[in-house]
Each structure stands twice: as structure tokens, then as C-alpha cells.
Structure 1
Amino acid sequence: MKIIIAPAKKMIVDTDNFVAETTPLYLSEASQLLARLRQLTFTELKALWHCSDQLATANYQRLLKMNLTTDLTPAIMAFTGLQYQYMAPDLFTTAALEYVKSNLRILSGFYGSLRPFDGITAYRLEMQAPLQLGQTTNLYQFWGNKIYTALAINNEPVIDLASNEYAKTIRPYLQPNEVFIDIIFGQLIEGKVKTKATLAKMARGEMVRYLAENNVQTLTELKQFDHLNYQFQAPLSTPTKLVFIQK
């Protein structure tokens, strides 16, 4: 199976504990985006990033010095948001690391599609940012079907543990025979499934950990996930939407 997750805004640089093993598939496209971002003024970048003056200043300084080929951190270790904290990839066994290398892909507005040990630099660019480049008016147009193509789906389900913002780079290009599985983490409130973003991020990280540590290969095995008191709910699910409710 292929598992897709979103990146995180929070990133670190760590070139000591883990070594980048591969180069991002779309490094040329990332270089184009970097050149375009450097054409923008501080005010334009702050608006694009939707962040405070303090964060904008730090990211602006980083942008000016950014190098896509040196001081690289493996993608799965570079992101440190809530989902990645609960995934805790730095504690993975060798077998679990091999599993994510084969099955996990991180979708990125800046790099497109990342394998776990692709070497990357810290950046800030969300997929929904309205960045214009050439004839394209946003990043969805810029990336087109490239992120989908990089998945290289081969008669296997795609497990969506990303946000809708990033899953939208895959869905439009799926072929009729390709299975895309939405994973819903929620709470049952007054008979309705309600999803809380923070809890969902935590659960997505836990599920990646569960899949990797248990070498999960089938949907039947995936449905056994029970971390953070979640349980699969067959009556609320469909063949392409698996619902997990927290007790």
C-alpha cells in the first residue's frame, strides 16, 4: 500500500543523527519555486505565508540563504509538527524504517512528493498558497499530476492520512481501478461523527507508527488499529472511507 501524509510547518535541521539517502524527485521544480519566492518582497511573502512578523522575518532570512543541496535533513525527521511527534520516526526499528521507505510519501507544496529519506532543507510554503509562477496561478496548477505520478500506484490502495489540502493533489488523477481510502478519526457526538483537527493529527501519526511497526499490508490489518482509544466502526464506514471513533 501507499500512505500519504501532509508536511508540517514546524521543521528542524538535523544532519547528525540521520543521513539523507536520496534526492527529492522534483528538485528542479523546487528550485523554480525558490527562485520565484526570492522575487517577492517581504510584505508579499508575509501575506503568502499568513504568519506573524516574527515568523515572517525568520523565514525571510532563511529564504535568502537557502541551499537545496547542502545541510540536508531526511524529510521524515525534518518535520516536527504534531503528527510527526506522535509518529516518532526517530524511535522506529530498522524494519519500521524500511517499511516507511517503501510505503510512505510526504506531500509538499515546495518539493511535491517526498520519500522519507529524501534530503531537504527547512522551508515554508503551504500547498494552498496562491503563488503564481509562469502560466500557473497556484501550486495545484504548478504541480499538476506530478505528485500523483510520483506515487507510482501499482495495484495497491492509497491510504489517505493527509489533510484535504494535500489529498487534492492526488484525487483528480486517480484511475478508475485505483483505490483511495479516506481515514476518518472522530468522536461520536449526538449520533454524528465529529472530527477535531488536533486529535486527528495525533491519530494520523499514531497510525503511521502502527502500520510501520506491524508491517501492515492489508486493509483488514489496518482496521485493527486501536491506539489513542480509537476503534474501527464498520457501520459508519464504506469501502473507501474507514471511520475510527475514539472511546
Structure 2
Amino acid sequence: MIIILSPAKTLKMEKVLNTNLYTEPLFIREASYLIKELVKYSPPEMERLMKVNSKLAQQNFMRHIMWKEEHDLSNGKQALLAYDGAVYQGISAGELSQQQLSFANDHLRILSGLYGALRPLDLIQPYRLEMGTKLKNRRGDNLYSFWKNKLTTYLKKELEGQNDNILIDLASKEYSSVIDLSKINIKVITPVFKDYKNGTHKVITIYTKRARGLMSRFIIANNIILPSDLKEFNEEGYSYNEHLSSDTEFVFTR
């Protein structure tokens, strides 16, 4: 079983670590190529490309200049500890044990516009590159054309090494759509989180992000490898709603 997550836009790179173990990103050469393309953009061009304000454009312009292909603990941080935001606050990776981090490294993959796919202990350097960015590259006009075949092949191989071919999709559509599921013979289960509001259950984005992190932590903390065990998730008032669920969509309501 493999879980996929989206990255976060914000990072916390200060060195407060609960482990010194790390791994090197699998697609470091591809990331290096993309950085070389990005450094061609001036701050004003970066502002238009990334659809960010001038301050963020300048920050990322400097990040691209400072980025190095060699990753170690002097210039990088483990991905699961570096990403910030609602999903990763839900995971609270800084509180995970060594055994739990090892389990996460085997079963969790973070999809990234720059790094492709990251294991939790893969080091990353400061960056911001969303999968939806229309960055022209040697494979096409956007990052989907750059990553789709490579990441589809990679995940297919990863899942073949597991006890079953099951993908738990906790990523946003922006990121999960980079995987061509028609080319992988797997079962995909998508947990959906809904809150009761105005007489009905609705998906509320900010709550969903945190819930995805809580679900990821639940899987990691309990060494879950059977999809059926996901139904026991009951963090922060959520519970499995059998009436709204299907074989491929597990709905949790509160």
C-alpha cells in the first residue's frame, strides 16, 4: 500500500529535527534540470509564471540561484519535516518515532513539482514550484508533461513491490492527476472528509487538508497496511460513514 500526498507551499527549514537519518531524492537530476530552466526567469518573469506577488517572486528567484544538486543536512531538510501547512501540521512529523518515520518512508510518497516524488526522509532545499505551473521544458509546455510518464512508471514499480496494489490517494487533484492510472493495474482508494453545514455534509477545503494529514498520521502511527483498517479513523470527531462511502471512496463525516 502506498499513500500519496501533495506538498505544501510553505516550508520550515530551521534545523529542529527528531532524526538525522535522510535519503537523497530519487529524481535529483530531473530537479536539477528544472532549476536550470527556472534560473532563466527574472523576478518579474517569475511573478507571472508562478502567479505570485513580487516579494515571493524575488524569494524564489534567490532560491533557484542558491539551489545545489548536492543535498545534505547542511543545505536541506527531510521533506516530511520541512513542509508546513495544514496537511503537515496534521501529521506532526516532529513527534513521530524512528520506527514510525521508517514506516512512513516505505509507504508514503509526496508528489512535487520540482522533485517529482519524495519519500518522507528525502532531503529538500527551499523551493516553491506547484505542479500546475506552466513551465516550458524539454518534454512539453508544463510540469504534467515533464513528470507524468516518469512518475506513473515509478509508482507502478513501487506498488509491484508491495503486498498489494493499492494506492491511497490523499493528494489534491492538482497533484494526483500527474499519475496516469490507466497505465497502472491498481485499486485506488480516496478518503473524503466532510463536515456538516447548513443541513448537509460538505467538503470544506481547509478542514480537508488537515484531515488528510491526520489520516496520514493515523496510518503511520498504527502501521496500517490494510485499506479496511482506514475505516477505524476517528480523529478530531470524524468517523467512517458507510452510507456515503463506496469501494473506492471512503467518506468520513463529522
Contact 1:234 1:243 in 2 (8 A): yes
Moved more, 83-92 or 186-195: 186-195
Q: 3-state DSSP class of the match of 2:40? A: coil
**For structure 1, which runs of at least 5 residues remain unmatched after alignment?**
none
Partner of 1:167: 176
Shift of 1:68: 2.9
**Contact 2:13/2:77 (<8 A) preserved:** yes
Question: Shift in Å at residue 32 of structure 1?
Answer: 0.8
Using the alignment, how far apart are the partners of 1:171 and 1:144 within structure 2?
7
Match of 1:13 in 2: 13
Judged with a 3 Å threshold, the aligned counterparts in structure 2 of structure 1 residues 51 and 14 are, in CA distance, closer, same or farther, namely: same
Question: How many Å separate the matches in 2 of 1:243 and 1:16?
Answer: 35
Deviation (angstroms), 1:193: 3.7
CA distance in 2, matches of 1:191, 1:240: 25
Aligned-residue RMSD, C-alpha: 1.7
SS in 1 for 2:232: coil
Of 231-240 and 93-102, deviating more is 93-102
Instruction: Provide the residue aligned with 1:32 in structure 2.
Output: 33
Count of aligned residue pairs for this structure pair: 245
Deviations 1:57-91 (A, max 9, x none): 22212222221314121111111111111110110
CA displacement at 1:133 relative to structure 2: 0.8
Match of 1:198 in 2: 206
> Is 1:181 aligned to residue 189 of structure 2?
yes
Give the AA of the match of 2:102.
E
Unmatched runs of 5 consecutive residues or more in structure 2: none
What's 2:53 paired with? 52
DSSP 3-state at the match of 1:125: coil
CA distance in 2, matches of 1:192, 1:182: 20
Q: Which amino acid aligns with 1:53?
A: S
* Offset at residue 191 of structure 1 (A): 6.2
Mapped to 1, the partners of 2:202 and 2:54 lie a distance apart of 34
For normalisation by structure 1, the TM-score amounts to 0.93
Deviation at 1:16, TM superposition (A): 6.0
CA drift of 1:174 comes to 4.3
Pairing partner for 2:231 from 223, 228, 234: 223
For 1:2-151, list aligned pairs within 5 A.
Answer: 2-15=2-15, 17=17, 18-19=19-20, 21-70=22-71, 71-151=75-155
1:215-245 C-alpha deviation (Å, 9 max, x unpaired):
1111221110000111111111111111111
How has the CA–CA distance of structure 1 residues 52 and 7 changed in structure 2, closer, same or farther, with 3 Å as cutoff?
A: same
Q: Is the 8 A contact 2:113 2:129 kept in 1?
A: yes
User: Shift of residue 15 of structure 1?
Assistant: 4.7
- Cα distance in 1 for partners of 2:37, 2:153 equals 24
Contact 2:4–2:109 (CA<8 Å) still a contact in 1? yes
Task: Measure how far apart 1:50 and its partner are.
Answer: 1.8
Cα pair distance change 1:14/1:156, threshold 3 Å? farther
Report the alpha carbon displacement of residue 141 of structure 1 after superposing the two structures with TM: 0.4
3-state DSSP of counterpart to 1:4: strand
